[in-house]
Structure 1
Amino acid sequence: MSTTDEIMEISQLLARYAVNMTKGDVDGVVAVFTPDGTYSAFGDKYPLDEFPALVAAAPQGLFMTGTPVVEFTGADTATGSQTLCFVDHATHDMRIGYYSDTYLRTEDGWRLHTRAMTFLRRNGDHDSGIPHAFDRPGA
């Protein structure tokens, strides 16, 4: 497979993430991760079994993502960044930022292994969100 084909496969993977988040299809979002994948935001790291509750607690809306920047770090590993603009469906308020990712090639193709959100603030700060903005089950 050429590098271009691999970048296209990863780009489609990330498009499925954004479209499934927009549609509220949590199973579709979880499917783009490796089974041991994690999502980081709000000062914490969330395993996939907590992802449905995390998504349920978040506002719903449109996830618009930019073209990812992908760097291959090995035959079956890569890192990347992707910009994000989230528009709340009820208020049309926006949140902007970027994801920092790691990817693994699996038997099912490329998958997200880790995804970390960084928010861009009006004051110019870049941060991962307000710690403990999400009440974790059993926390």
Structure 2
Amino acid sequence: MSTHHPTFTDDLMEIQQLLARYAVCITRGDIDGVLAVFTPDGTYSAFGDTYPLAEFPALVAAAPKGLFLTGTAAIDLAGDRNAASGSQPLCFIDHATHAMRIGYYSDSYVRTADGWRLRTRAMTFIRRSGAHDSGRPHAHERSGPGA
């Protein structure tokens, strides 16, 4: 019986599919699908704050709706092949106005028993001025610890 050992290419393809699922799920408003691409201790950072998985449903509900169009991520696989980091360009287009937000994600990934997952995802916006920053809060208001 042969055991398949993932190659470098296998790992890259799996991470790319993970990131594609994130973009499709968030575009469709599928919060369960978004949660599934993260580790249980996963976080999303934007708007000057970091949000744990438990806050994702409220964060996504408050976010503008539209198309999350992502480019191919540049992925750096670590030497132990169980962790990686990467950066992925993003163009968000609001469904109602077709106004755009552009920027990129900075990510960390980890191999789990269920395959590759996002551990951290941080958003950087690219402003009309050319500035790159983490942004200001939108309609999402935090409550409870850390608010």
Q: Specify the TM-score bucket, using the shorter chain as the normaliser.
A: over 0.9
In the TM superposition, structure 1's runs of 4+ consecutive aligned residues that sit over 4 Å from their partners are none
Structure-2 change in CA distance of 1:58 and 1:132 (3 Å): closer
Show CA shifts across 1:52-89 (max 9, x none).
00000010000000001100123210000000000000
Of residues 44, 47, 51, the one that matches 1:46 is 51
Give the gaps of 5 or more residues in structure 1.
Answer: none
Residue correspondence of structure 1 range 68-87 to structure 2 within 5 A: 68-73=73-78, 74-87=80-93
Give the TM-score normalised by structure 2: 0.92
User: Does residue 1:66 correspond to 2:71, yes or no?
Assistant: yes
The Cα of 1:137 is off from its aligned counterpart by 2.1
Q: Distance in 2 between matches of 1:23 and 1:9?
A: 21
Of residues 98, 101, 113, the one that matches 2:104 is 98
The Cα of 1:133 is off from its aligned counterpart by 5.8
Q: Distance in 1 between matches of 2:28 and 2:40?
A: 22
User: Does residue 1:122 correspond to 2:128, yes or no?
Assistant: yes
Show CA shifts across 1:108-136 (max 9, x none).
00000000000000001000011576311
Q: Distance in 2 between matches of 1:85 and 1:57?
A: 18
Give the gaps of 5 or more residues in structure 2.
Answer: 1-5
Greater radius of gyration (CA): 2
